[in-house]
Amino acid sequence: MEEVIEISNTIYQEIMEEGKKQLPYEACGLISGHYNKAQSFWPLVNEIRSRNKFFVSKKIVQQKIQDILNTREQLLAIFHTHPTTAAIPSSYDLRNHPDANIDMVIVSYKFDSPQLKWYKIDQSGYKNISWLLPS
């Protein structure tokens, strides 16, 4: 059966608002939850304030991951935005993705309505994963 990720309505709103707030720069953060349920969003500061890249110090990421583990959730995905381009991983994104067990979420603001894409990443590239909001 095909895997489908369920994103809670609350964090979907939080993610979209954070992305919009950081425009014209890329926003970034972590998404945690259980298995295929995304339940918490943890915004991070993009230290390079770039329109096409993001960077967060390793120490800050590790602290945030510890905060997530303390809530007994799992780190599911790393989130970032593409302020002006499509929601497709760049070669920079793929090169810098730290761990194939963690997914990649990209929100694009290229068009009027923002678009969220959820990807699995491996050596051969990326795979689009379906997601939905619980009704």
**C-beta of 88: minimal distance to Zn ion in Å?**
8
To which residue do tokens 């730290």 refer?
Answer: 98
Q: Which is nearer to Zn ion, 93 or 103 (CB)?
A: 93
Given the complex with Zn ion, which of 18 and 93 has the nearer CB atom?
Answer: 93
The token pair at 68 is 């997530």
Residue 41 or 119: the one with the smaller Cβ distance to Zn ion is: 119
97 burial via Cβ count (<10 Å: 0-12, 13-18, 19+): middle
The Cα 15–Cα 29 span in angstroms is: 9
Residue 93 sits in the site that holds Zn ion (CB under 5 A): yes
Q: How far is the CB of 93 from Zn ion (least distance, A)?
A: 4
Q: By rule CB under 5 A, what count of residues binds Zn ion?
A: 2
Q: Using the rule CB under 5 A, is 103 a contact of Zn ion?
A: no
